[in-house]
Amino acid sequence: MTLPDRDYVGYGRHQPKGSWPGGARVALNIAVNIEEGSERSWWAGDRQNEGLSEVPRAIDPRYRDLGVESIYEYGSRAGIHRLMRMFDRLGIRVTAFAAAAALERTPEVAQWLNASGHELCSHGYRWAEAWHLKEDDERALIAKAVETFERVTGRRPVGWYSRWMPSLNTRRLLVEEGGFIYDSDAYNDDIPYYVKVNDNAHLVVPYTMAYNDTHFAYGQMTSPSDFEEYCTKALDYLLAEGDDVPRMMSVGVHPRLAGQAARASALESFITAAQSRADVWIATREQIARWWRKQFPPVATGTGFTSGEFQGG
């Protein structure tokens, strides 16, 4: 229970200084969580229904919940296609937090993501509570996710984002698996940072639940305009901080939620406004990770690693 250790300080007052490509002040990443087909269900043999849904009630868990199942099906049948058409129309590249099993069940989506140049980041094989898994079982599922990505998409993921949270072993197992240049299994900063794993400098590109359409599922938001305003105010504030720190902003969406027409409209309005700003770089998490590694290479400290001096460019 001693690893990983807690870090309440991070960069503290001495945050890295510099700018993103083109002199941008903020790197904006749109993360699309492609999960439909990996969720728990009686149909999939889980002997339980999925709980993460915007339906404000649950039926007797002894029975299949066909209503919730159909909400997830909306995401893969309609929602993801609406979002993909939007991204193609706007000419942006996003990160797909994709569960391998979901891509396996919707190969057309995988092909579209590939053809449009979006990043495919592993969201695990299926939804699973990693903290309940034995180490060997988790290691096997990581390898199975990688194999599935390679078979279905023709390329392996270089990023990882667990379902909700990792286990105590996840980050070490990712480093041991090899091929991963970052993970997003943290919500604790606005900029990437390095951690020490098996004497390696491993990069964390943190995520957030703040700018996330799950607020609709939890009943915390009802109006699409609320989501647009929430994200807009965040971006405006990050741009106005004026301290030369290259911050990033993540906006997380789900096809079954943001893929609904009204919410998609709000998301498109936010992205369009961000595109009009010369000081915003809309990028995938892989682009952010590779740029950070090049411009802020890891420097060893007494206890781990930190980001080095800005290399410029």
Per-residue tokens: 215: 């607020």
Rounded distance, CA 296 to CA 290, Å? 10
Mean pLDDT per 10-residue segment, the chain (313 residues)? 79 94 97 90 77 75 86 94 97 97 94 94 90 94 96 95 92 96 97 95 97 89 94 97 94 96 97 97 98 96 90 77
130 class by beta-carbon count within 10 Å (0-12 exposed, 13-18 middle, 19+ buried): buried
Biggest distance spanned by C-alpha atoms of the chain? 59
Rounded distance, CA 65 to CA 70, Å? 9
With beta carbons less than 8 A apart as the criterion, state whether 207 and 186 touch: yes
pTM (two decimals): 0.94
Rounded distance, CA 258 to CA 256, Å? 6
267 class by beta-carbon count within 10 Å (0-12 exposed, 13-18 middle, 19+ buried): buried
With beta carbons less than 8 A apart as the criterion, state whether 291 and 29 touch: no
111 class by beta-carbon count within 10 Å (0-12 exposed, 13-18 middle, 19+ buried): middle
In the chain the domains, ranked by start, together with CATH numbers, are 21-302 (3.20.20.370)
Per-residue tokens: 44: 């999939």
Please report the pLDDT score of residue 46 as a whole number.
79
